[in-house]
Amino acid sequence: MSDNKDEDKEDKNSGGELEKCRKEREEYLDGWKRAKADFANYKKEEALRLENFLKFSNELMVRDLVGVLDSFDLGLAVLGYDDPGRKGMCLIQNQLEDQLKKYGLERIPSALGKSFDPSLHEAVAEIDSEKSPGIVVEEIEKGYKLHGKVIRPVRVKISKGQLTDNNKQ
Amino acid sequence: MSKILGIDLGTTNSAIAVMEGGEPRVLENQEGNRTTPSIVAVSKSGERLVGLLAKRQSVVNPKNTIFSVKRLVGRKFTDSEVQNDKNWLPYEIKAGENGGVEIKMSAQGGSPPKEDGPRAHASGGNDRWYKPEEISAMVLQKLKADAEAKLGEKIEEAVITVPAYFDDAERQATKNAGEIAGFKVRRIINEPTAAALAYGLNRQKEEKIVVYDFGGGTFDISILEVGDDTVEVKATGGDTHLGGDDFDKRIIEYLTQEYKRREGIDISKDSLALQRLKEAAERAKHELSTTLETEINLPYITSDSAGPKHFLMKLSRAKLDDLVKDMIDRSIDLLKEAVTAPPPKGAGIKLSDIDEIVLVGGQTRMPAIQEAVKKLFHKDPHQGINPDEVVAVGAAIQAGILQGDVKDVLLLDVTPLTLSIETLGGVATPMIPKNTTIPTAKTQIFSTAADNQTSVEIHVGQGERPMMADNKTLARFILDGLPPAPRGIPQVEVTFDIDANGILNVKAEDKATNKGQSVKIEATTSLNKEEVEKLKKEAAEHAEEDQRKKGLIETKNNAESLIYTAEKSLKDMGDKIDAKVKEDIIEKINRLKSVKDGDNLEDTRSALNDLSAELQKAGGAMYNKKEEPPH
């Protein structure tokens, strides 16, 4: 009798042990599979990331050069249309912009007269105007995209629309 | 099981990260940025905007642009802090049910102006009062959508961080925000704990850690104590209205004042000029973290009757430090207080009791801050992880622990020091470089250094120094029974294999006879931290001298090898070489032999080059002879 009891106990023990092992096996197998899958995905993403990295590796430099394009805009605005230096300055600006285009830079089209769109524009002020509210009435800085990503929104002033109302009154 | 997202839900900006292949990875948002402004707005056209897009229209839509909502989450309206915030927040707040805070935001955007008067009813019937957690939920929803888009899978669970000083109500409200956003919030963890986790400090035993978190708008200090698998917050401190943005304001203020002094023009009212100056100031601040002086150059900043005016000014690191000195000093005073003041104001410990320092927040890139903190504790703070992302990284690691990627038992360790094998001249040739994740194995073929050498000694060492004698010896054994052969011919394959428990197995096998020897070295990773640091420090201190020594040995080895080749060539092909050339070679060999054992690297190198050139000349002459047409 006592022998049987001992055997039962042993059976139970080994059953428990086996169960524990099974559980561990499941856990480890799952962990291993996940690690493998993670690695496979990682490799795919890494390839994509590398592609993006190459595309955007010069983003900081391009951002800084956009500041130079701004300065050209401001400089040209100061020079009169018949200023003899104007043409040359325009050409240098175009040259710089053309070079940057090769690296994926594009100017965001003018926002004037369009509805304010925060995905492309950044509002810096709201002013009285005859235009409907929310319409861009002044563009103070041009905006740029690099490979489709907005690296600088167009900085704009938008209409409060009050002049129209006041006029109507 | 899908991934659990780690979220740093910040006052000014938020960031997200996940565990991938056992490593945390910060995810970019839809706009391609690694941080997302914690801002929600309903635009004038009635659209709900979150993040950068909300920020871009904040100037013209202040009443419906909700930022800094974290300051209100879980608080009572009557709290003094809420009352203070009420004075400067441009949007409206009121007491809600149960005494909480409610925020007014247009449900469909501001109404268009009515004919009977401009904007008199701009907040008409479209307004809705939101709980702060509903606003936070909108930020979380965007982060969730961005993470799902980036990973291409559904995300249902999250770990969200909160400041250490958040009470139960604030934590519960944050959890609710997560749930409103559609997450199952697996855990709310403290931001400083997350930062410590990112640096792996949770594994240290019985340590006291100070986390100095200088964000965009808030400054938080936390004193943590790490025990057995627990991280306890001993004290918190800081200033909820001090941040990097204040530094920017200070710089802009200085630049505009200085410009006014020089040119007599006030550009602070010109929105374009101010916008350009703001960007330039921020850029200058960043640059001065790595350079000592920067130039702010903004052509055509403004104009007066005399024509266009330009902005050209130099800003030095010293000047910047001077401009913000009071703010840094204040942060250090608060830090001192949080560590030394008796509880509950502080942790009530000595400054020297602090074992580790972690810096969080972009502003901590500033050298003056790093130095001030270092000076206070006489210790180097932890650096290396982007301070803007370190909390999100820690949250992802916590998420990884929860989803089973990171288990203390299964935590993949790294080799703390390089494992090398000694080669000719006592050089330590690295087999497994430091910081290699284990388990790992590396095999390399070595050969003999002398003719008819029948045994090789395998000397295994650990350390960063290039000469084996300076490193720690782990094992030595002899592989014998190599068949006699000229030097360089036998192939001995040596394998270093470290298993997950850090046990190193070194095996050497002769490829010709398949005869092998191996040794097992227990616990190569069990060096304590001080030992590892000491060895690394020694390596850094001796780097130059070691490099010279190694160069000398390598040149000597090359010299011996060349002498061997030259003598062998003379023996094998002596009769085909002109006597004069032969004489020259022998002379050059003798010269090299006489200098190679000395300490003069230059002499050995020049003798080596001379012999090499002479041999090439002889070789070339032999080929030319061969090519001569037969007579």
- Give the best residue of B300, B301, B303, B410 to mutate against chain A (max A CB count within 10 A): B300
Contact between chains at B21 and A70 (C-beta distance less than 8 A): no
For residue range B136-145, what is the model confidence (pLDDT) as tens digits? 999 999 999 9
pLDDT at B276 over 80: yes
* Nearest residue to A100 via CA among A59, A140, A149, A152: A59
User: How many angstroms separate the CA atoms of A143 and A121, rounded?
Assistant: 8
Mean of the pLDDT values across residues B233-257? 91
Q: Quick check: helix, strand or coil at residue B502?
A: coil
Of A56, A73, A89, the one marking the end of a domain is: A56
Q: Quick check: helix, strand or coil at residue B27?
A: coil
Give the pLDDT of residue B272.
81
Spot the catalytic one: B70, B144, B285, B556. Answer: B70
- What does the block give as tokens for A100? 């940057």
Q: For residue A125, give every residue at least 6 positions away whose Cβ sits within 8 Å of its Cβ, in sequence order, or none.
A: A157, A158, B59, B60, B271
0.90 exceeded by the pTM? no
User: How many angstroms separate the CA atoms of B22 and B407, rounded?
Assistant: 10
Statement to judge: residues A82 and A163 lie in one domain: yes
> CA angle at residue A115 from A110 to A118, to 5 degrees?
85
Q: Is A123 on the interface with B (CB under 8 A)?
A: yes
Q: Which of A70-79, A130-139, B408-417 has the lowest mean pLDDT?
A: B408-417
Q: How far is CA A141 from CA A58, A100, A157, B122, B533, in A?
A: 22, 18, 10, 29, 53
> How many other β-carbons are positioned within 10 Å of the β-carbon of residue B176?
19
Contact between chains at B272 and A140 (C-beta distance less than 8 A): yes
* pLDDT range class, residue B203, cuts 50, 70, 90: confident
Give the pLDDT of residue B257.
94
Q: Which of B98-107, B185-194, B299-308, B528-537 has the lowest mean pLDDT?
A: B528-537
Domains annotated on chain B, with CATH: 4-191 (3.30.420.40), 244-323 (3.90.640.10), 419-541 (2.60.34.10), 544-627 (1.20.1270.10)
* pLDDT range class, residue B449, cuts 50, 70, 90: confident
CA end-to-end distance (rounded Å), chain A: 109
Q: Which of B103-107, B273-277, B540-544, B621-625 has the lowest mean pLDDT?
A: B621-625
pLDDT at B1 over 80: no
Residues of chain B whose beta carbon is less than 8 angstroms from a beta carbon of chain A are 20-22, 31-32, 43-45, 49, 53-54, 56-57, 59-61, 112-113, 115, 117-118, 271-272, 275-276, 279, 298-300, 303, 307-308, 404-405, 410
> CA angle at residue A48 from A44 to A50, to 5 degrees?
115
Paired residues of B8 in beta bridges: B15, B161
Catalytic annotation on B191?
Answer: yes
* Nearest residue to B461 via CA among B498, B500, B432: B432
Q: Which residues of chain B have a CB within 8 Å of the CB of A124?
A: 59, 271-272, 275
Give the pLDDT of residue B204.
67
For residue range B577-616, what is the model confidence (pLDDT) as tens digits? 788 888 888 888 888 888 888 778 888 888 888 888 888 8
Q: What is the mean pLDDT of chain B?
A: 86
CA B255 remoteness from chain centre: 32
Q: How many domains would you assign to chain A? A: 2
Mean of the pLDDT values across residues B519-548? 73
pLDDT at B106 over 90: no
Q: How far is A45 from chain B (nearest CA, A)?
A: 9
Give the pLDDT of residue A119.
93
User: How many angstroms separate the CA atoms of B126 and B108, rounded?
Assistant: 6
DSSP B324-383: HHHHHHHHHHHHHHHHHSPTTTS----GGG--EEEEESGGGGSHHHHHHHHHHHTSPPB-
pLDDT at B548 over 50: yes
For residue range B25-56, what is the model confidence (pLDDT) as tens digits? 999 999 989 999 999 999 888 889 999 999 99
Q: What is the mean pLDDT of chain A?
A: 85
Give the pLDDT of residue A22.
92
DSSP B92-157: -EEE-GGGBEEEEEESS-PPPPBTTBTTTTTTTTTEEEE-HHHHHHHHHHHHHHHHHHHHTS---E
Interface TM-score (ipTM) > 0.90: no
Q: How far is CA B265 from CA A60, B189, B254, B258, B262, in A?
A: 31, 51, 14, 10, 8
pLDDT top residue among B436 and B630: B436
Q: Is A79 on the interface with B (CB under 8 A)?
A: no
Identify the CATH number of the domain in which residue A67 sits.
Answer: 2.30.22.10
Tell me phi and psi for residue B292, to 5 degrees. Answer: -90, -20
Catalytic annotation on B70?
Answer: yes
Helices (H), chain A: 2-56, 59-78, 86-102, 162-168
- What does the block give as tokens for B490? 């036998």
* pLDDT range class, residue B10, cuts 50, 70, 90: very high
Statement to judge: residues A126 and A68 lie in one domain: yes
Q: Which of A131-135, A157-161, B399-403, B573-577 has the lowest mean pLDDT?
A: B573-577
pLDDT at B525 over 60: no
Amino acid at B85: D
Statement to judge: residues A105 and A71 lie in one domain: yes
Statement to judge: residues A76 and A125 lie in one domain: yes
Statement to judge: residues A94 and A65 lie in one domain: yes
* pLDDT range class, residue B405, cuts 50, 70, 90: low
Statement to judge: residues A9 and A64 lie in one domain: no
- What does the block give as tokens for B584? 């020259």
- What does the block give as tokens for B149? 């888009």
pLDDT at B123 over 50: no
pLDDT at B65 over 70: yes
Statement to judge: residues A86 and A109 lie in one domain: yes
Q: Which of A149-153, B330-334, B372-376, B545-549 has the lowest mean pLDDT?
A: B545-549
Catalytic annotation on B596?
Answer: no
> How many other β-carbons are positioned within 10 Å of the β-carbon of residue B304?
10
Contact between chains at B57 and A118 (C-beta distance less than 8 A): yes
CB B435 within 8 A of CB B413: no
pLDDT top residue among B500 and B66: B66
Give the pLDDT of residue A74.
87
Smallest CA–CA distance from A37 into chain B, residue: B21
Residue B620 CB-density burial (10 A; 0-12 exposed, 13-18 middle, 19+ buried): exposed
* pLDDT range class, residue B120, cuts 50, 70, 90: very low
Statement to judge: residues A160 and A85 lie in one domain: yes
pLDDT at B109 over 80: no
Residue B341 CB-density burial (10 A; 0-12 exposed, 13-18 middle, 19+ buried): middle
Give the pLDDT of residue B273.
87
The percent of residues in chain A predicted with pLDDT above 70, rounded, is: 88
Statement to judge: residues A31 and A66 lie in one domain: no
Smallest CA–CA distance from A75 into chain B, residue: B300
Mean of the pLDDT values across residues B93-110? 82
pLDDT top residue among B544 and B373: B373
The percent of residues in chain A predicted with pLDDT above 90, rounded, is: 42
Statement to judge: residues A157 and A90 lie in one domain: yes
Q: Which of B214-223, B361-370, B438-447 has the lowest mean pLDDT?
A: B438-447
Boundaries of domain holding A22? 1-56
Q: Positive or negative, the Cα torsion across B69, B70, B73, B78?
A: negative
Statement to judge: residues A108 and A34 lie in one domain: no
Q: Is A71 on the interface with B (CB under 8 A)?
A: yes
Q: For residue B626, give every residue at least 6 positions away whose Cβ sits within 8 Å of its Cβ, in sequence order, or none.
A: none
Q: How far is A6 from chain B (nearest CA, A)?
A: 34
Tell me phi and psi for residue B438, to 5 degrees. Answer: -105, 155
* pLDDT range class, residue B445, cuts 50, 70, 90: very high
Q: Which of B263-277, B305-319, B397-411, B555-569 has the lowest mean pLDDT?
A: B397-411
Of A38, A56, A74, the one marking the end of a domain is: A56
Give the pLDDT of residue B492.
92
The number of C-alpha atoms within 13 Å of B118 and in the hemisphere containing its C-beta is 15
Closest partner residue to A149 (CB to CB) among B21, B32, B307 is: B32
For residue range A56-101, what is the model confidence (pLDDT) as tens digits? 889 989 998 999 999 998 888 888 788 888 889 999 999 999 999 9
Statement to judge: residues A140 and A69 lie in one domain: yes
pLDDT at B410 over 50: no
Give the pLDDT of residue B182.
94
Q: Which of A127-141, B100-114, B211-225, B588-602 has the lowest mean pLDDT?
A: B100-114
Give the pLDDT of residue B411.
43
pLDDT at B118 over 50: no
